[in-house]
Amino acid sequence: MTIQPSDSIRPVRFEDGALRLLDQRRLPSEETEQVFTDAPAVADAIREMVVRGAPAIGITAAFGMVLACRNARGQTDWRARIEADAGHLRDARPTAVNLFWALERMQRVIAGCATPEAAESACQEAAQAMLEADIAGNRQMGALGAELIEPGQGVLTHCNTGSLATGGYGTALGVIRAGWDAGRVRAVYADETRPWLQGSRLTAWELVRDGIPVQLLCEGAAASLMREGRVGWVIVGADRIAANGDTANKIGTYGLALLARAHGVRFMVAAPVATIDFATADGSGIPIEQRPEREVLELAGQMVAAPGARAYNPAFDVTPAELIDAIVTERGVVRTPDRTRLAALVGR
């Protein structure tokens, strides 16, 4: 697949029987790959944010199942061993529905195999196909989303939804890439995204690396940016979309949606169809991961809060569907999303 000038990053690779992940905790100061040869270590990598972003987590888990099959070769209880490894992966992070979707897909592949060797081969083929389909789908999603942006618009994004969060190209950042390449986007703004600073460390790194100018802002500056008329669209990704269109994404997304509505700015969610969880009726049923307090109390490992202070640190929040103007997927665009329109998108 051709890599375009604004699409040069591939964070997940499987080579020579090992999974290689670009360690996103060390960006932007250091580009380091971590190498994994067993599924529990892959689960730890997901949990510890070596890899992050719902699509990338799903793809990583799929390759983790390849390693589970490889390490079960020669064992009489190979199916039980693989299932135990699947459990480690399943418990890594609770909110990203792509993780569970990918594991279920791999387990269906394994169920049809008579030996661990056959399961390894079949899973590797399926995982690689998942990776390639994600990149192709992201490009299609980017093109569809870019068509909604009137030429000359400024856009604001939150967290990181680019190549680092996917197999490549990105979801919301894929829309921005496509809009920039098409001359529709004139300015890109990115929230720094506390407490992990995915906006300043990752989104800014991606855009600068690919030659797309970006201006960072503290989350608290978003209202002023909108009031000054600099933004036509807020474009974000999703870790899970409920059946009615309520969307879980990085903490702070809900506040941006409220600000966008107050200022007449449109709000777009870009995510693959696999992110839609039709088993979850609405946002109240989406589990929200609570992460360690130290992530808020510290910065780069240094304590910045007053001793004795406590922290509230949900990793995600839920944006109600009524605040979303469009959900963009690789299969099409759903405007003013609701249960009926989302179901029609996938033929349910």
Which carries the bigger pLDDT value, residue 246 or residue 5? Answer: 246
- pLDDT at residue 93 in the model: 86
> What is the tens place of the pLDDT at every residue in 308-319?
999 999 999 999
Q: Which contacts qualify for 112-120: CB closer than 8 Å, 24 or more apart?
A: 115/78, 116/69, 116/70, 116/72, 116/73, 116/74, 116/75, 116/78, 116/82, 117/69, 117/73, 119/69, 119/72, 119/78, 119/82, 120/66, 120/69, 120/70, 120/73
Does 33 have pLDDT greater than 70?
yes
For 177-216, how does the pLDDT look when each residue is reduced to its tens digit (9 = 90+)?
Answer: 999 999 999 999 999 999 989 999 999 999 998 899 999 9
Q: Do 243 and 342 contact (CB within 8 A), yes or no?
A: yes
Residue range 295-300: average pLDDT?
90
Residue 1: the pLDDT is: 44
Residue ranges matching CATH 1.20.120.420 in the chain: 12-138
3 confidence band (pLDDT: 50, 70, 90): very low
Average pLDDT, whole number, for the chain? 94
243-279 tens-digit pLDDT: 999 999 999 999 999 999 999 999 999 999 989 999 9
Query: What predicted TM-score, i.e. pTM, was given to this entire model?
Result: 0.85
User: Which amino acids are annotated catalytic?
Assistant: 239
Q: How large is the average pLDDT for residues 31-37?
A: 95
Looking at domain 143-345, its CATH superfamily turns out to be Translation initiation factor eif-2b; domain 2 (3.40.50.10470)
Residues of the chain within CATH 3.40.50.10470 domain(s) are 143-345
Class of domain 12-138 (CATH, top level): mainly alpha
